[in-house]
Structure 1
């Protein structure tokens, strides 16, 4: 008795495990935008179409079938016609509109397909996918091929592959070339223009009545301050000259800082001495 019950339970489990989804009464038709069906053929899980179905720019593919579970017409949870591009493996699902009786239908035209499909050199693979909740096995069966027929009077669409995250080629940074000095003619012109201001300065002093007799008094009252102040100004010009010819910024900054401090300290005392004589009424 127990042996009989065990056999019945195993048989029931095997029968339950063997349940699966399928489809029947399947057909495909290709209709132009205006006119009757150009093609109408039937197919099944065991007998897919052997010849590709042509799909023109104004055509519409219509797939009709009946979904079944264990041979009984039933509405599944999911039902699709998937179209796959052979070279890239890209797939596009098109859901079937399914009634409670299991009758399902879907219509596909070129405008519904991705751009990559329209540019495919090989026929597209179409499969029927049906599945639902429960123990019944889903079905995924290739049923026919689609051959895209483009309009020769219409240019093909353009497709650019999107940027994907992944390993990129190594980047080798190219530094800009070192800055070049201006032409020597231009540098010489401005150097002479600056040098010409020195005699112009002395001539202006003579024309304005500069009193050179105060030079002796200034050097006598504060010789170190005046000489250091004048020397720091000359030294700063020398720093700029070195920066122009050979030094870089990191070399000039420390030297310019030291010379600048000397200029401020000596200039304060030197100009203070000049101010004291001006306040005393000396001209």
Structure 2
């Protein structure tokens, strides 16, 4: 037991030393500067990963913001896999990353101008939070820390930037369809005129039969030879006309079609039988 106690203590010290020795990313020799369009530096401040700058850095419409630092892994200058300056809107939470150009020595430079910043961030009413993000493959812990704020100064002589909000899929207002009015019947006067015109053809048909020598004496023979066929054939014709009348007055197409199919089948079969009976008497010389 006396041997195990110091051995366990040694394991605890070793584990603590390993945890302390775990590497993490950081940076040194950091600075932020704002240069005017002509190239002269107007502002230059040193930055570090522990304490952000107390005052915002102003970025004018013709200025260029430059961030310089040296990335380090556990205190050793090294090139990371990822390095960004991230600008964030404090109200909406929108972010825009800007890539560092990093050398093998860990020296990193990022330049930002107003034309590179999204319109949504340019219209922010509060200074933008600028953070440095450094990370890489392996077990080293990445860095994501705010370092300074950026105050956007738009050109007073230019119109303010604008943008259209992107289309978002979500619940929309209910769409109520207004269907056009259905077809209406013609005036009753016109309909009555054509009905009378059709009825006027019936006497004309009867007169034509008399003038042409039509013989109604065979009606008794026809009905006696095939009563069901002749009755069904004549009835189906009357029924078809009645269906057309109903379609004209009240029925719709979906109501008419099934009835027309049934009546049409009756007309075909009964007409075949009835006309066949007439043909038989004609061939026999009775007509």
Report the Cα offset of residue 252 of structure 1: 3.7
- Give 1:88's aligned residue: 92
- Give 2:194's aligned residue: 193
- Give 1:220's aligned residue: 220
Question: Residue 239 of structure 1: SS of its match in structure 2?
Answer: helix
The 1:163–1:210 alpha-carbon spacing in structure 2 relative to 1, beyond 3 Å, is: farther
Contact 2:89 2:121 in 1 (8 A): yes
User: Which consecutive residues of structure 2, in runs of 5 or more, have no partner in the other structure?
Assistant: none
Separation (CA, whole Å) in 2 of partners of 1:5 and 1:258? 101
Matches within 5 A, 1:237-256: 237-249=241-253, 251-256=255-260
TM-score after normalising by structure 2: 0.77
- Give 1:13's aligned residue: 18
Question: Residue 212 of structure 2: SS of its match in structure 1?
Answer: coil
Give the stretch that moved more between structures: 202-211 or 134-143: 202-211
Deviations 1:135-192 (A, max 9, x none): 432221101122333334235232222334xx646x978676696451551x552453
Report the Cα offset of residue 128 of structure 1: 0.4
- Give 1:136's aligned residue: 140
Deviating above 6 A after TM superposition, structure 1's stretches of 4 or more consecutive aligned residues are 277-283
Report the Cα offset of residue 63 of structure 1: 0.7
Question: Residue 215 of structure 1: SS of its match in structure 2?
Answer: coil
Contact 2:222 2:277 in 1 (8 A): yes
Give the stretch that moved more between structures: 62-71 or 190-199: 190-199
Give the stretch that moved more between structures: 74-83 or 129-138: 129-138
Question: Residue 214 of structure 1: SS of its match in structure 2?
Answer: coil
Report the Cα offset of residue 33 of structure 1: 3.4
Contact 1:110 1:118 in 2 (8 A): yes
RMSD of Structure 2 on Structure 1 (CA): 3.6
The 1:80–1:261 alpha-carbon spacing in structure 2 relative to 1, beyond 3 Å, is: same
Matched, 1:257 2:261: yes
Contact 1:221 1:273 in 2 (8 A): no
- Give 2:63's aligned residue: 59
Report the Cα offset of residue 30 of structure 1: 2.0
Matched, 1:127 2:131: yes
